[in-house]
Amino acid sequence: MKKIPIEEKIKLTSGQGNWHLFESDYLKGRKINVADGPHGVRVYGKPVNDGDFLSKRHLEATTLFPSASAMASTWNRSLIEAAGKTIGKECRYHQVDVLLGPGMNLKRSPLGGRNFEYYSEDPYLTSEIGQYFVKGVQSEQIGACIKHFGLNEQETMRRFVDVKIDERTMHEMYLYPFYKVIKKANPWMVMSSYNKLNGTYASESSYLLQDVLRKQWSYDGVVISDWGAIQDKVKSIKNGMNIEMPGPSSFNQTVKNALNDNTLTAEELDNSLKPLFDLHEKVEKIEKLKHIDLEKHHSVARKVAREAIVLLENDGVLPIKNNDQLVGIIGQFAKKPRINGGGSATVKPYKQEIPFDAFTKVFPKHLYADGYQENDTTDTLLAEAVNVARESELVFFFTGTTDAIETEGKDRDHMLLPKGHLEVFEAIRKVNDNIVVILSNGSALDLRALRPYSRAILETWFLGGAAANAIVDIVTGRISPSGRLQETFPLKLEHTPHYGTFPPLVNVDYHHDLIMNGYRYYDTHDYEVLYPFGYGLSYADIVYKDISWLKNPSSDKAFVTVNVTLENRSNIDAYETVQVYVGTKIRYLIKPQKELKGFEKIWLKANETKTITIELPLEAFETYDEKHHGYVIYNGTYKVSIGRHSREIYDTYQVEVSHQNRYEPRITFDYPVRFLELYYPEWFTYIEKNYRKLWWHEKEEPIWRILDRYKRHNNVTEKAMEDLIKQIKEDIKT
């Protein structure tokens, strides 16, 4: 680094183009290449102009996997690791060194325009799926870049919105996935987000980039900006940003001026470049693959697609065994499927399966009608759809959100299907009551108009290039559906926790999200939902029995163990996803009723019985503590639950945690004396022993007032009182 001129160092703090960085005549070896691709790597056949890089005409064909929301719906760690590994191979083949993904942000509202690119409303599920995706990518010696760090849960005004949040909610909910993935998978890069956090841009936040990322989490990888996120380049360098993207930067002279007037030091500049040198060493060791098998990769994508599909409704019509019946295929999505959410996730698929082609191979007797064009329909299209529905024995209705409704860069206005799609459904359901609905969307929908008149509903998400045959496999029963919802489907938008405040334009309040997000909110208020978190139907009849629990205080890795026997009482092979939740009964500790803390996806052959074990580590009981600026485990009573989903619990177990940390809220002398009685009983006892027994109403008075009364009535000296107050304050602080 000493040999590199200052001007060149300044250039190295930003990219040298849209998709590469660390290119210089002063550096040995090649430049570092990055590419978008949480659902498949996006690479270009030749350089493209700014603003034109999402056009598919410039792209090389790669495997398009199901969206992140679909991946998480598999609840299958090893399968997602395989998907990551497959994408990693394609990165090596195309000489992409770091894949810009996955997204680790949470789904805060169904209206989030980028929800398709995020895994879940739940931090634990997000962290588990995310870390296995990262492990898969990096098993190919390709770097993964987790994004967007942090609090980037909306698209509206995403470059300017200011997230107001307390430390505990921030860490326990929204930073938790980043923390766990960094600790367990160590991604090569972390991408900062566009938004502000408590008044400071995330790309310039010393709290996020220094205090949390470097000091608390000991992360030593590269911090990269989101594209165009840098507002103050000097401040970002000083506070921990390593590389501004894209480049070349327009801030080079500003940085040089700051070095000249010493508002930025040469040491700070060098420190910002060190992680890039470390990354460059890793990149030099990457061996380019000469060949890849895209057919094999497509089969991996199909496996993910099969397991991602969630069967929401089924009155017995599925699986369909009679392939000779006349079926109606209605909906433009059958011929022009919605397979991805767009934006930075845009990929040119190596192979794109078409549902119409796949269905007509299985159902030789068929009729077809477009029904709609994009969002709208016409009298002619409606008439054609009604005729097909009237003549068919069974109808497959393809519908979902369009680019105009759901994509990166904007949030949704509503949870409804397009107006034209709903008009088509309303018309065809009046002439045919055998309708199977096939949805393509990235996040929860309001399905009240469809549910009463549908014999089955399949949530297929954005299934990528292998969508069609995966859907056919489910419909025909070749595969039993095994997808489980990674987010709650509310009855309607007005029931969502942030209705009326999402999306805000400038300031957004996250302070209550510990119990005001996703299933935590619906459980806390005992609200009915359309489909609960973790929900999904199967063709198999799988029974839970012989559930037993064991507490092992000496084991951090298996502090609580649950054994459950699963019996498949059907003639079809199927997966079952067993879910374990933890809640607490510690008084005044704000916690949701239950939080997902363990799950296993189990394969059961027809009529097979299998006993499985799920181990909960001690960290499953942790809480972020603002006094210690880290996770602690409080002594107290916890309730552990096991079930099929968050609203179908089969057994609970009460466990006492001891020899950890006492729970005491952060209090001051303005708090009621009752708080001393509850959380610092030794001091409450001291006061009553040396003063007198307090009446019930006195316990409601501030601590300082009782101490003042104690001092006056007992003639306590000023010095003795100061010493006593100092002791109490020290105990409360520690």
**Which residues are tagged catalytic?**
226
Residues facing residue 631 across a β-bridge: 624
| CB 662, CB 634: distance < 8 Å | yes
Buried b (16+ CB within 10 A) or exposed e, 187-214: bbbbbbbbbbbbebbbbbbebbbeebbb
Q: Which residues contact 539 (CB under 8 A, 6 or more apart)?
A: 318, 319, 477, 480, 481, 570, 572, 574
Q: Is the dihedral of CA 228, 229, 231, 232 positive or negative?
A: negative
The CA–CA distances, whole Å, from 692 to 589, 684, 699, 720 equal 30, 11, 12, 18
620 token code pair: 């499953």
Distance separating alpha carbons of residues 20 and 10, to the nearest angstrom? 16
Q: In what order do the strands lie in the sheet with 595-604?
A: 595-604, 574-584, 636-645, 648-657
Distance separating alpha carbons of residues 618 and 625, to the nearest angstrom? 16
Cis omega (within 30 of 0) for bond into 503: yes
Distance separating alpha carbons of residues 438 and 331, to the nearest angstrom? 10
| CB 84, CB 185: distance < 8 Å | no
| CB 134, CB 84: distance < 8 Å | yes
Q: What one-character DSSP code corresponds to residue 436?
A: E
Distance separating alpha carbons of residues 684 and 665, to the nearest angstrom? 16
Q: Which residues contact 388 (CB under 8 A, 6 or more apart)?
A: 328, 329, 330, 367, 368, 369, 395, 428
For the chain, the 3-state helix, strand and coil shares in percent, each to the nearest 5, are 35, 20, 45
SS3 204: helix
337 token code pair: 């499927």
Q: Please give the radius of gyration of the chain, using alpha carbons only, rounded to the nearest integer.
A: 28
Q: What one-character DSSP code corresponds to residue 253?
A: H
Residues in the chain: 734
Burial class (CB in 10 A: 0-12, 13-18, 19+), 684: buried
How many CB atoms sit inside 10 A of residue 388's CB? 24
The CA–CA distances, whole Å, from 431 to 48, 127, 427, 439, 489 equal 51, 46, 7, 21, 28
Q: ∠ at Cα 71 (70, 73), nearest 5°?
A: 65
Q: What is the largest CA-CA distance in the chain?
A: 99
Location of structure tokens 């810009």: 100
- 423-426 long-range Cβ contacts below 8 angstroms, 24+ apart: 423/372, 423/377, 423/382, 424/330, 424/331, 424/371, 424/372, 424/377, 424/381, 424/382, 424/385, 424/397, 424/399, 425/397, 425/399, 425/449, 425/450, 425/453
Q: ∠ at Cα 652 (651, 655), nearest 5°?
A: 150
| CB 146, CB 134: distance < 8 Å | yes
Identity of the residue numbered 409: G
| CB 376, CB 420: distance < 8 Å | yes
